[in-house]
Structure 1
């Protein structure tokens, strides 16, 4: 559990909760030191990595809820003796939570949420809605932007939905390090938004749905209206490295991986950086009209 459910709401369901935190990690481990999760009699919030490591921690936490123990420490090798092969070792602290502990945990979660990178999905068509469905489960703040309120209303995703007549303003006001995925219903609008995002020079990712032809047209547009030297910071087509499948859900899955890799790993230049690569570029066709 977690993500869609707020930590505060989780605490409201049962005040008797144990906090599990990884206090020391040696070698290979599914999560890093400082990772925490919360366990009640019937619920869970967060994860310390799953597998036998997490199962044993949950069992120990629930034993504490039954026997009244206030705190304990577990030192666990992640080897064959517990059915894992990470090869590392972790130390975990388990503690019953009081009111002050719960407030502190909510504060930490709030700070973590506030520090999440922004992902702007510029267009609420088929692919845009599919992207919002996926990003709602990721550690990002996803904003779905479209001038058409009726299209935004079709998205059931738990993300921010913003009606915007001039999306370039949303691009200009976005925080540093944001990601922009451009897939509106209008090619001219795509060009304006993509150019505005590239010209910021501080975006973590700028991608535009389309084909080699559309990419070439944007380059010509930027030669007339902007700095053409910035064009190489654009990823277009988006999600083209994984599959030629043009179904919206498939496109969205590959774009999600592309964006999250950039946000979490500081990926280097986009795969399609240089004009000389365009001939070898897979033509995923101009999907903006069909799916955006």
Structure 2
């Protein structure tokens, strides 16, 4: 029961983990068939698959698997190291290690034309899409259905701060008014984020940045905002703007250059 509770807690908190299960067991061994053990990315463990050197080796392999994001199935042979024959037992155990890593969160602040296009395109990428919008649900039902999760709000700042969004999320501000975008920015800039982009002209951007600085937000934070948002690859249709935004997000996520692969040597 403890393992299940900790597994659910890790999922909710967005923590990577590995579940170890004894899938095959041969010989006299404490590693009984079906025994399970949970390893969290910070090294915490719950349960046991039998202890000893074999468990230590399996945990070491599993910790590497969490970093690599790769599940595996491995056979372990245990042979006694005692010099005197007859002491200790030989056995073979197969361990299934299932690695679970949380999806990165992509937060769309405003489900307008561009926001809706981002939601549609992001379905083919490995993100948990979260829509935040302050409009009535019946006005944005289609957009809500496109998202993995919907956070209703009156003010975007409050929706972001109270919406159970993990650190390291990717944000796009594309609300229907400058005031709403500013509210979203004020919330996001209080959190740790991997990417923050905002739709808008240079004129809008300059004025909004001036207001944010006047309200005490540091310039070093403001300079992390991508605005105008997206790569220079599109016309100004919502679909192509959305594509260019996601291209920029992938560039940041994967530490890319934005160059054509043909030009990279």
TM range (shorter): 0.5 to 0.7
Task: Confirm or deny that 1:142 pairs with 2:129.
Answer: yes
Structure 1 portions without partners, runs of 5+: 1-31, 37-100, 269-292
- What SS class does the counterpart of residue 154 from structure 1 fall into? helix
Deviation at 1:35, TM superposition (A): 7.5
| TM-score, normalised relative to structure 2 | 0.55
Contact 1:152 1:161 in 2 (8 A): no
- What SS class does the counterpart of residue 160 from structure 2 fall into? helix
- What SS class does the counterpart of residue 190 from structure 2 fall into? helix
Deviation at 1:161, TM superposition (A): 2.5
Contact 1:207 1:236 in 2 (8 A): yes
Structure 2 portions without partners, runs of 5+: 1-67, 73-94, 258-265
RMSD: 2.8
Contact 1:122 1:180 in 2 (8 A): yes
Contact 1:219 1:228 in 2 (8 A): no
Deviations 1:187-225 (A, max 9, x none): 11101211321232x210111100101110111111211
- What SS class does the counterpart of residue 179 from structure 1 fall into? strand
Contact 2:131 2:147 in 1 (8 A): no
Deviation at 1:138, TM superposition (A): 1.0
For residue 204 of structure 1, the aligned residue among 194, 207, 225 is: 194
| TM-score, normalised relative to structure 1 | 0.51
Matched residues in 1 for 2:224 and 2:236: separation? 24
> How many residues are treated as equivalent by the alignment?
165
Name whichever structure is richer in helix by fraction: 1
Corresponding residue of 1:217:
207
Matched residues in 2 for 1:147 and 1:251: separation? 23
Task: Confirm or deny that 1:153 pairs with 2:141.
Answer: yes
Corresponding residue of 1:124:
111
Matched residues in 1 for 2:226 and 2:69: separation? 34
Matched residues in 2 for 1:158 and 1:174: separation? 14
Task: Confirm or deny that 1:261 pairs with 2:248.
Answer: no
Summarize the alignment of residues 1-292 of structure 1 with structure 2, pairs less than 5 Å apart: 34=70, 108=99, 111-112=100-101, 115-148=102-135, 149-155=137-143, 156-172=145-161, 173-200=164-191, 202-229=192-219, 230-243=221-234, 245-265=235-255
**For the structure 1 residues 171 and 264, does the alpha-carbon distance in structure 2 shift closer, same or farther, using more than 3 Å as the test?**
farther
